[in-house]
Structure 1
């Protein structure tokens, strides 16, 4: 009898584990080598998204006319906040009315959702914590600056802060598991733009004690195990102090703001990891964390410090392994610089937030073509008054058609993306049997705007599906072909403008004569958007 009962208990535990695990029909990340894909409804999925302004999703009335706007911009996904203060207005009493509304409205508009958990922190501050948290500082203490002044930031060194946030997040994930049977929600962001201000670390009593204690063994083990593949920023700091393997934070990393930020990042990461792990144990959706980028040559503390920034990604990978992706929010120039930093390790480019402005269309083509990009999402996308005219919507119309081709050929290395302005006019790349030269369309000198001091950003994506066959898409680009490895010339056998319908190519205009400059190049003018099917040959 005892043996039978034991077997029943084991079976029950197995069933519970399997129920909480990620099932094949759920949205999930898959990895092949260093290449990631987000699978939704069993197919590779690119998030052609838009993030709502912080307060838009707090009102059903305000949101009702917005859904039509989003559809006109060809989005397939909306990134929507979930507010802790509204979801748990009284401790232990939960209200999912807003969450349920957004899921229902998204389904009715054939859109997917990514949820932003505005929990302990949003843009560093704890402004979305419920009133019963904010008004009980004794139970839910805050960070303190160097002179002991409390900040509107919950300290990560307090178990009650963690317990309250984790409890609410678990309830959210349980509710999604129970109610979102169609998997409208495809991913979750845990917290938002974590970072310490106005100092690089907190000086509350618990933080001060932790700072004097030994660096946790979990972190030291990670550093030692990954010593040869650490990112250069962290490795250089550790090396300067003699690669020590035991001691407190200043023993290991030296004195200064750099060490303060590393310390902060570790405890933020451990806090977030516990919340994420608890949520995934209930409902195993992909989960990511975003960062407010640091300004170059600015000291820690002068920017939101300790978040998942490119120079301290190793700390986050060590402390928060439950987080699937570390993601940048783009508000600075030099898009390629930051994208390169976030893809130095096995971390796909996932852009949950980017400034909503002209040029986003070009950046989207570049991101999905040049990187293992899973998401592109302008912020406050509902703010436009002319959604049908937005360039990002025109880019999404193209990228939505190309998604199956990108998913198929990107792992083979035959998908390339390009981004141009007047300071970056030309790129060369080998694809198939050819060396391709890709230029800003204004480089031809034909268009009136080519004489201007500044040029609009343009971008494109090229997919090589056979040695002599290509799909060229984007806006404001020109492509020429040269054969590889011989003295022959390359010509354009055919160039057809068209579109995909249910993954089938539907040809339209034949782009000969003036449209391909009598066979000299493939061209998509500035402010135009299309796909061209190109077959090249040599003679």
Structure 2
């Protein structure tokens, strides 16, 4: 009996250790961080093209290329049709190859489960699902025609999808001993390109009462609801019982909330089935609203767009993060919509504009930034070097997330400057090269000390303390090696106009015809001797010492 109790204690402790070591999300101040092996992990990432991991032959040479681009993680597709080519018959070869290749190249993985839907369509479902239209029925149009998109109201499809996803998660838990897979995405950019599914089941449910789970969420979060949801609800004077029409009117919003609820509960069912096998963090991504006047169905109706995030939060508690895919130019406005106290920022798809990464990490404590089709940027020297600098300062970003002592700037459109406030100082950031990418992260590392990472800017420091004037005392250009600061140059005189400003030159590389053959020059001062050779600028790192009198 005594031996049994000892064994029981050992097993309990072992289970607790395994649970603690499983990737998870933890709060740190105002930020939420992804924990991997009990350490915060910043996903300096990229998403490969949809078919890049569809065969082992195509995949194998890809991962070393991604590592050379200074990624530490990658978003990779796994299709249901390849994982379960016949019902109940599972092929583990691709998922094993993804894990093996990523592990060999020291890359972490977010696995994208392309199953019932991808981009509002259903092309990644298995043939045995596609062919059986009676068992796995489709979305219907207003005219009564079936389209190729699987209906979110089909219980048979939901259960089949969830069964396969659970099998996948169980297998990952068994084979992924190094925790290469740290995040999962069930489905991709879901939604239908119409106002509602016009099949009989859908229309009957639409006439029924709104689920109590949503009502309770709306009541609890009434003051903080997104204006799109709150305004629609206010039309009924905030009724707390009734049908979708009675609460939200016979409107496009009412149909959108109903459709969103169905997609979210479906995907939550799939995610929960997976988490019961292996409890990894789960995220979903959105084909975002392109224009504010767009009605649901112009964009995929039912997906986790910012205006219905509250519906998703109520319907899908097993989904941790709702994420935007951002190809529009107003990046700063969009990430602000998705970064909420209950929703950390994670950007799974974007243009390969590396300033966006710096802004997401520095201004919004992002967990991840990941351009789509990342292999296309393999020859982008600025992108690769900028990611290298992110790796160099990654420890600082993680340390200062959630503290309020880190900000970021990014030039968009016709902006010429931004004002940043940190501690006792106002920092005026001037974008002085309008045709060049200008961005940076500013960290207050001491009362009168700042670390600046970025390029193509000037910064002016002034005091916010009454009856005092703020000054720049010293400026150092340098780098971090193994988290230790190394000064490569003290900057004064021409380089800072006698400490009147910090001039964020960046690291300048003078190049020949081949950009890969470079001779490094640390910060080229162009105050009185402008560059005469071809050069490429990438982010630099600076330490600024200030004082007040």
Both structures adopt the same fold (TM-score exceeding 0.5): yes
Matched, 1:303 2:299: yes
Flag the 1:223–1:491 CA change in 2: closer, same or farther, 3 A: closer
| CA distance in 1 between partners of 2:29 and 2:408 (Å) | 21
Partner residue of 1:447? none
CA distance, structure 2, for counterparts of residue 506 and residue 21 of structure 1: 38
Task: Say whether residues 1:269 and 2:264 are aligned partners.
Answer: yes
Q: For 2:21, what is the secondary structure of its paired residue?
A: coil
Gaps of 5+ in 2: 507-536
Once the two structures are overlaid, the 10-residue window that deviates more, 377-386 or 465-474, is 377-386
Distance 1:18 1:127, change over 3 A: farther
Alpha-carbon distance change, 497 to 380 in structure 1, aligned in 2, over 3 angstroms: same
Helix, strand or coil for the counterpart of 2:78?
strand
What displacement does 1:178 show? 0.3
1:409 aligns with 2:400: yes
CA distance in 2, matches of 1:15, 1:239: 53
1:145 to 131, 141, 148: 141
Q: Find the aligned partners of 2:258 and 2:11 in 1 and give their Cα distance.
A: 39
**What number of residue pairs does the alignment pair up?**
514
* Structure-1 residue corresponding to 2:368: 375
Say which of 326, 331, 335 aligns to 1:335: 331
- Greater mean alpha carbon deviation, residues 154-163 or residues 393-402: 393-402
Deviation at 1:488, TM superposition (A): 4.3
Moved more, 501-510 or 113-122: 501-510
Structure-to-structure mapping, 1:111-510, within 5 angstroms: 111-197=107-193, 199-296=194-291, 297-356=293-352, 360-384=353-377, 386-387=379-380, 389=381, 391-421=382-412, 423-442=414-433, 455-510=435-490
Q: Does structure 2 retain, via aligned residues, the 8 Å contact 1:121–1:153?
A: yes
Moved more, 140-149 or 58-67: 58-67
- How far has the Cα of 1:395 moved from its partner? 2.0
- Report the Cα distance in structure 2 between the residues aligned to 1:509 and 1:273, rounded to whole angstroms: 54
Alignment match, 1:96: 92
Cα distance, 1:91–1:253 mapped onto 2, change above 3 Å: same
Residue 525 of structure 2 corresponds to which residue in structure 1?
none
> Cα distance, 1:16 vs. partner?
9.8
The alignment's C-alpha RMSD in Å is: 2.2
Is 1:62 the counterpart of 2:58? The answer is yes
Aligned-pair CA distance for 1:190: 1.2
CA contact (8 A) 1:421 1:456 kept: no
Match in the other structure for 2:43: 47
Contact 2:437 2:455 (8 Å CA) reproduced: no
Normalising to structure 1: TM-score of the pair? Answer: 0.91
User: Normalised by the size of structure 2, how large is the TM-score?
Assistant: 0.89
CA distance in 1, matches of 2:478, 2:223: 49
Per mean C-alpha deviation after superposition, the further-off stretch among 261-270 and 240-249 is: 240-249
Structure 1: gaps of 5 or more residues: 443-449
Shift of 1:274: 1.0
